[in-house]
Amino acid sequence: MKITLHTEYEMNGVSLKNRFLMAPMTRSRAEEPGNIPNALMAKYYEQRSSAGIIITEATQISLQGMGYAKTPGIYSQKQIEGWKLVTDAVHKKGGKIFLQLWHVGRVSSSKVNGLQPIAPSAEIAKDTQVYIFDGAPNGDATFVPVEKPREMTKDDITQVVEEFRTGARNAIEAGFDGVEIHGANGYLIDQFLRSNSNHRTDEYGSTKENRIRILKEITQAVADEIGANKTGVRLSPFISFKDMNDPEILETIMIAAKALNQIGITYIHLCEADWDDAPTIPEDFRIKLRANFTHTIIATGNKTPKEANDLLDKNLVDLVGFGRKFLTNPDYPKRVQLNATMNDISDPHTLFGGGDARGYTDYPFLDV
């Protein structure tokens, strides 16, 4: 049987009605104070529950782990209760949803959370900004440069591992089907993985094997807490923005993949660049990853349905993620099936932030 996006998939005990994944997208709609998910967010995710699986927007595991304004958390009871609105809404529509656990590390500013950033090494990320909302007339986010981080102590590392564990436990309490550990896009775990951002000389740095240690410890802690079958990890070997260009990263990722396979997690989610001149991921990398990681592999990065189906048919991936297409087309799988016209972004000002439905939950469904 030819495998396509519309083929069902059994993901280590989680039954998916198709192979469309709604990719995590930061939208900054959480309520302040408290960074609490709300009913508007529940409607947004509910509308998109025709995806085989939804991965939520990145969700900080602590106030220290926060890097952008109005992003939701998973470390307070009010946040847990807020997320229950989301999971209840998605499950009532027959959808599946994982929460993405996030710590930004050095990609932050005290203007966001009142705290100095922490990182594997005390080195600022050049040409990197985060955003706040400071009352601009059009409601737009205001970008501010990141601040110099403090190098993490061993106690800091132990605390972060426990915060990931607690975040996973809280996610299950909130009704999620599982969690995705965010190890991509220049955030904390990715900072440990890369030689250019990790200059430590202890057991968390200096070699590729040491640089994956915190990823292994976090993943093992989460898997021990909620089960490896409910645990996924996102990685971004070919993305180097936020000052993350590391010549050793591809070798490091393969070492990490073997370690994650040994832990037995459900999936690795490759975040692939989605801009026009982005690097193409070589097929031999995908073949090697498949050999080193025997469970579910996901690819996300501005793919057309045809490109996605080709990857599925070649057994290089098992699920394919779509971001902006789901943002503007809540019924994206149906539109692909019918080869229907797609909605475009209605107003770029509404991508990050906003207190109402505009550009968030007002994208139309097909009238069929």
Domain that holds residue 165: 9-350
116-136 burial: b if 16+ Cβ within 10 Å, else e? ebbbbbebebeebebbbbeee
- CATH number of the domain that residue 250 is part of: 3.20.20.70
How far are the Cα atoms of 19, 22, 54, 165, 356 from residue 362, in angstroms, in the given order? 25, 18, 19, 36, 9
CB atoms within 10 A of CB 104: 28
Question: 30-44, 114-128, 131-145, 224-238 — which is least confidently predicted?
Answer: 131-145
**pLDDT exceeds 70 at position 57:** yes
| Confidence bin at 139 (pLDDT 50/70/90) | confident
Mean pLDDT value across the chain: 96
Tell me the percentage of the chain whose pLDDT exceeds 90.
Answer: 93
Task: Specify the pTM.
Answer: 0.98
Q: How many CA atoms lie within 13 A of 196 on its CB side?
A: 14
Residue 356 lies in a domain: no
User: 3-state SS string over 206-258?
Assistant: CCHHHHCHHHHHHHHHHHHHHCHHHEEEEECCCCCCCCCCCCCHHHHHHHHHH
At residue 15, what are phi and psi to the nearest 5 degrees? Answer: -85, 120
The angle formed by the CA atoms of residues 94, 98 and 99, to the nearest 5 degrees, is: 135
| Confidence bin at 1 (pLDDT 50/70/90) | confident
Residue 358 lies in a domain: no
The pLDDT assigned to 329 comes to 98
Q: How many CA atoms lie within 13 A of 351 on its CB side?
A: 12
Written as six digits, the tokens of 284 are 């031999």
**Cβ distance 89 to 46 under 8 Å?**
yes
The pLDDT assigned to 41 comes to 98
32-61 burial: b if 16+ Cβ within 10 Å, else e? eeebbbbebbbbbbbbbbbbbbbbbbbbbb
| Cα–Cα distance, 88 to 348 (Å, whole number) | 29
Question: 37-41, 136-140, 363-367 — which is least confidently predicted?
Answer: 136-140
Residue 178 lies in a domain: yes
Total domain count for the chain?
1
Catalytic residues: 187
| Confidence bin at 156 (pLDDT 50/70/90) | very high
Residue 208 lies in a domain: yes
291-320 confidence digits (pLDDT tens)? 999 999 999 998 999 999 999 999 999 999
Residue 364 lies in a domain: no
Residue 1 lies in a domain: no
The pLDDT assigned to 275 comes to 66
**pLDDT exceeds 90 at position 289:** yes
| Confidence bin at 343 (pLDDT 50/70/90) | very high
**pLDDT exceeds 80 at position 138:** no
The pLDDT assigned to 137 comes to 67
Tell me the percentage of the chain whose pLDDT exceeds 70.
Answer: 98
**pLDDT exceeds 70 at position 197:** yes
